[in-house]
Structure 1
Amino acid sequence: MDARANDTRPWPEFCSGMRDIVPLALGVATYGAAFGLLAAQAGFGGGQTGVMGGLVFAGSSQIVAAERLVAGAGVAAALVAGLALNLRLILMTSSLRIEFAGRPLWQVLWGVHLTSDENWALMHAARARGRVAGYWYLVGGGMMLWVVWVTSTMIGAVYARTLPDPRSLGIDFAFTAAFIAILCSLWRGRGDLAPWVTSAACATLLTMVVPIDPTWALVGGGVAGAAVAGRGGHE
């Protein structure tokens, strides 16, 4: 099936996606600013933080990668940890085969890059209400989130330069707080329970039993959780 056959009104659908995701984007801006503050602690400037957000565009992955850098784990370990945390995106984008079918490569790559938990879930929710929501709705929502994320992280990183020692203000807890906020936004119901519990249990056991760097425990937990989600047909 060629998804382009349904592209009769791409611009209105794109704009609907951008408009409908605004409430979620406000939440993204909050933890985006928190990440920017912490990226500055890892040595990133405002421009570097913005480039990272634009190219990676994965809040939880960026937070973990920056935390690993601050902890001195090294660039390679930070990248691996960030990638492992976003293994769920493989399952999400593979569920968009119909939306991507028949499209030129640049549209497929654009759609894959802009797919996030928020606009993916919003697209399915809009469809459940009987609305037209396909590729351009997904991309519209993704573009709004992308702009908000990049902007808020840059503002956070620049503003951090004017602050005293983050620990004196309690901002050093922001890594944890921002990650918890992202985690809560990802929960979609009981179907998430099995892969989440598996990931947490595997990472915890590896950390406690096997003498390895926490980065690799996180990778193990991410792979185990993705495997459980894949076997269960989790979306």
Structure 2
Amino acid sequence: MAEVPIPKISEIATGVRDMLPIALAAATYGVAFGLLASQSGFSMVQSLSMSAFVFGGSAQLIALDQLMTGAGVAAAVLAGAALNMRILLITASMRGALINRPRWQIATGVYLATDASIALMQAAKTRGALASYWYLFGGGAFLLLVWIFATCAGALLSKGISNPASIGMDFAIIAVFVALLPGLWRGRSDLLPWGVAACSVVTFALMFPSYASWGLIVGAVLGALTAGVTHGD
């Protein structure tokens, strides 16, 4: 008896369902970004545009930091792009879901690729589930919508909060990222690239304390390069 294929809508719905816990955590991250961006002088349109087109929490924050320190637009774009080099590895690990797809679907899949996407896919593989294209699309699209709405909420909240740090919103960004780490861990093969990234950040911060934020970029680049060399998948 031939196996009945799963309808795409079911795969999308499953992706949305499985992304829900991560999306709720990322919403806190998004609210924090919207609040901090608004406090830094961004308009609502600018904050929402950045979340919609960049769609990268850490990259958005590092770019925002560069803009607020007067480094200029070019430096902000360079910083965000360098930090997001890890996305190249994420899309490489998603090639099984993207292969033989139309170009528009590949472009959409790459656009929706985030740390949360790879965490979702790893969790699905651990359960023995099929991480199909539409499954990843459902989860990624849902996360994007949550991220944009959370940014909007943060920007609106900024009008009533004069100091985000006073209620721990700055720490919320770190907390959410740390919460995502277990889902990104793939085993001992990650020890070297993670170690290289961590050591690079710490070393840079100690050597150049006035430019500590650039240490994140250096760590991301060196960690991504190390992973690219050592990982065959």
Coarse TM-score class (shorter-chain normalised): 0.7 to 0.9
Q: Is the 8 A contact 1:84 1:218 kept in 2?
A: no
Rounded to whole Å, the distance in 1 between the matches of 2:5 and 2:59 is 32
Following superposition, which runs of at least 4 residues in structure 1 exceed 4 angstroms of deviation?
210-216
* Residue of 124, 134, 137 corresponding to 1:136: 134
The Cα of 1:8 is off from its aligned counterpart by 5.3
Rounded to whole Å, the distance in 1 between the matches of 2:17 and 2:208 is 48
Alignment of structure 1 residues 188-207 onto 2, 5 Å: 188-189=184-185, 191=188, 192-207=190-205
Letter in 1 for 2:63: A
Q: Is the 8 A contact 1:81 1:218 kept in 2?
A: no
Alpha-carbon displacement from aligned partner over 1:87-143 (angstroms, at most 9, x marks no partner): 111011012222212211110010011112223222232233233331000010001
The Cα of 1:210 is off from its aligned counterpart by 6.1
Q: Give TM-score, length-normalised by structure 2.
A: 0.85
The Cα of 1:9 is off from its aligned counterpart by 1.9
The 1:106/1:30 distance shift into structure 2, 3 A limit, reads same
Q: Identity rate of aligned residues, in percent?
A: 41
Alignment of structure 1 residues 93-132 onto 2, 5 Å: 93-132=91-130
Alpha-carbon displacement from aligned partner over 1:2-57 (angstroms, at most 9, x marks no partner): xxxx9752111011101121111110111110111101122112222111111111
Rounded to whole Å, the distance in 1 between the matches of 2:5 and 2:211 is 48
Rounded to whole Å, the distance in 1 between the matches of 2:160 and 2:82 is 33
Alpha-carbon displacement from aligned partner over 1:146-193 (angstroms, at most 9, x marks no partner): 000000011101220233x316x615x633541342144134445443
Q: Is the 8 A contact 2:204 2:215 kept in 1?
A: yes
Structure 1 spans left out of the alignment, 5+ residues = 1-5
Rounded to whole Å, the distance in 2 between the matches of 1:29 and 1:98 is 28
Q: Which 10-residue stretch deviates more, 43-52 or 7-16?
A: 7-16
Q: What is the match of residue 147 of structure 1?
A: 145
Q: Is the 8 A contact 1:199 1:222 kept in 2?
A: yes
The 1:103/1:174 distance shift into structure 2, 3 A limit, reads same
SS of aligned partner of 2:160 = coil
Rounded to whole Å, the distance in 2 between the matches of 1:226 and 1:115 is 15
Letter in 2 for 1:24: I
Rounded to whole Å, the distance in 2 between the matches of 1:216 and 1:133 is 35
User: CA RMSD of the aligned region, Å?
Assistant: 2.5
The Cα of 1:203 is off from its aligned counterpart by 3.3
Structure 2 spans left out of the alignment, 5+ residues = none
Letter in 2 for 1:38: L
Letter in 2 for 1:153: T
Rounded to whole Å, the distance in 1 between the matches of 2:200 and 2:92 is 25
SS of aligned partner of 1:178 = helix
Q: What is the match of residue 3 of structure 1?
A: none
Q: Is the 8 A contact 2:51 2:147 kept in 1?
A: yes
* Residue of 65, 69, 72 corresponding to 2:70: 72
Q: What is the match of residue 166 of structure 1?
A: 163
Aligned residues: 227
The Cα of 1:223 is off from its aligned counterpart by 1.6
Letter in 2 for 1:140: G
